Amino acid sequence: YSQVTDKDASFELYEELRNSHKTHVSGTIESIATRMEHKLEDFKELRFET
């Protein structure tokens, strides 16, 4: 199976933060934080299933 690393997740977060900073959308940080929480939950589930 394809291994997702913490490094990949943090890089993805960095990209999202950098892109959202350009657009200056209010509340983007909160929405990203929420999405990252869901991603981390999915990531943990994937890790323990395999």
pLDDT score of 26: 55
2-50 pLDDT, tens digit per residue, is: 566 667 777 787 787 777 665 555 566 778 788 888 888 887 777 776 5
pLDDT score of 45: 79
pLDDT score of 50: 55
Burial 4-42 (b: 16+ CB within 10 A, else e): eeeeeeeeebeebeeeeeeeeeeeeeeebeeebeeeeee
Q: Work out the angle at residue 37's Cα, subtended by the Cα atoms of residues 19 and 44, and round it to the nearest 5 degrees.
A: 120
pLDDT score of 29: 72
pTM: 0.33
pLDDT score of 1: 45
